[in-house]
A and B are shown apart, each in its own frame.
Chain A
Amino acid sequence: MKLDPAIRDQVLSTVPSLRAFAISLCGHVDRADDLVQETLLRALAHIDSFEPGTNMPAWLFTILRNLFRSEYRKRRREVEDADGRYADTLKTHPEQTGRVEFGEFRAALAKLPSDQREALILVGASGFSYEEAAAICGCAVGTIKSRVNRARTRLADLLAIDNIDDFGPDRATRAVLAGGSGRG
């Protein structure tokens, strides 16, 4: 049996976003690519369980997330400082964004509990609805909402942004002004 080209195209068109999600979950490009590959192997092996016309991205994200979770649980037994390692591995992918201001943002994101991080990314970056994100994570919609809220609050705390001036291009200007404290 050959894979329906339309289904194949749906799978392929989901891959860029699936990769971005994988990288944000495990923080390491090589591991993320392995995870994506494993997800696709599993998805294509069970393509019959996908109902055409339903949400292909949500289906693939669910598979990837479950694979990551089972792997993560295994690793957590071996590696104590999983979050610390996550933070470290983030640094191994500087080419992903050349923009300096992302460094601080990434570091803050890495400090979030993984359930909050994944909820925030699914809703805030992947563009899933709260309902879709809940289905992907296998939890209630209210749980997703609360995780996203807590993630946002925590991120703002970590970034120590009390107002917009602390978190934008003006920062450099303000640093300069602060440096010239003898004036004015």
Chain B
Amino acid sequence: MNKGKTANVETPAPGTDQPEARDAMGRTVTQRKSEVRLGREVQARIGQQLRAMYDDVVKEGVPQHIVDLVRRLGDHDDGAA
């Protein structure tokens, strides 16, 4: 879903001198210890792959049988169970 916000962003702890990284979506990437070790570029790549895989399904939209189901149940609510 497009919630229009950068949900998975953490504010870096004060005093952190790590430069702000940005992932493929232009969102800031928090530099936690393990991620620093892995490298922010690698993390950005993993995030990119994950979203690309997920978005391939999202792009398929709503299957027709689901549209029909929701409409049918929404029209007479007693059928829902």
Is A155's beta carbon under 8 Å from chain B? Answer: yes
Instruction: Write out the residue numbers on chain A whose beta carbons fall within 8 Å of the beta carbon of B61.
Output: 16
The answer on a CB contact under 8 Å between B51 and A44 is no
Q: What is the 8 Å Cβ interface bit string for chain A, positions 4-47, against chain B (1 contact, 0 not)? A: 01001001111111011101100000000100110011001101
Alpha-carbon separation in the docked complex, A109 to B47 (Å): 12
- Closest A residue, CB atoms, query B41: A164
Is B53's beta carbon under 8 Å from chain A? Answer: yes
- Closest B residue, CB atoms, query A22: B57
The answer on a CB contact under 8 Å between A12 and B70 is yes
The answer on a CB contact under 8 Å between B66 and A15 is yes
- Given A37-B66, A41-B73, A44-B73, verify A123-B57 contact (CB < 8 Å): no
Taking CB atoms and an 8 Å cut-off, the chain A residues in 44-74 that contact chain B are 44-45, 47, 57
Instruction: Write out the residue numbers on chain A whose beta carbons fall within 8 Å of the beta carbon of B70.
Output: 3, 8, 11-12, 40, 44
- Closest A residue, CB atoms, query B56: A97
Alpha-carbon separation in the docked complex, A24 to B34 (Å): 24
- Given A2-B77, A164-B41, verify A124-B8 contact (CB < 8 Å): yes
Is B21's beta carbon under 8 Å from chain A? Answer: no
The answer on a CB contact under 8 Å between A127 and B60 is no
Instruction: Write out the residue numbers on chain A whose beta carbons fall within 8 Å of the beta carbon of B73.
Output: 3, 40-41, 44
Is B75's beta carbon under 8 Å from chain A? Answer: yes
- Closest A residue, CB atoms, query B35: A152
- On chain A, which size bracket covers the interface? 35 or more
Alpha-carbon separation in the docked complex, A47 to B74 (Å): 10
The answer on a CB contact under 8 Å between B43 and A23 is no
Is A86's beta carbon under 8 Å from chain B? Answer: no
Point out the residue from A120, A121, A149 that lies within 8 Å of B35, measured CB to CB: A149
- Given A12-B67, A153-B34, verify A3-B50 contact (CB < 8 Å): no
- Closest A residue, CB atoms, query B51: A125
The answer on a CB contact under 8 Å between B50 and A167 is no
The answer on a CB contact under 8 Å between A152 and B46 is yes
The answer on a CB contact under 8 Å between A168 and B45 is yes
Alpha-carbon separation in the docked complex, A40 to B66 (Å): 9
Instruction: Write out the residue numbers on chain B whose beta carbons fall within 8 Å of the beta carbon of A1.
Output: 77
Which residues in A have some Cβ–Cβ distance to B below 8 Å? 1-3, 5, 8, 11-17, 19-21, 23-24, 33, 36-37, 40-41, 44-45, 47, 57, 96-97, 99, 101-102, 105-106, 109, 120-121, 123-130, 132, 149, 152-153, 155-156, 159, 161, 163-164, 167-168
CB-based closest 6 A-B pairs: A3-B74, A125-B54, A20-B57, A45-B80, A129-B7, A164-B41
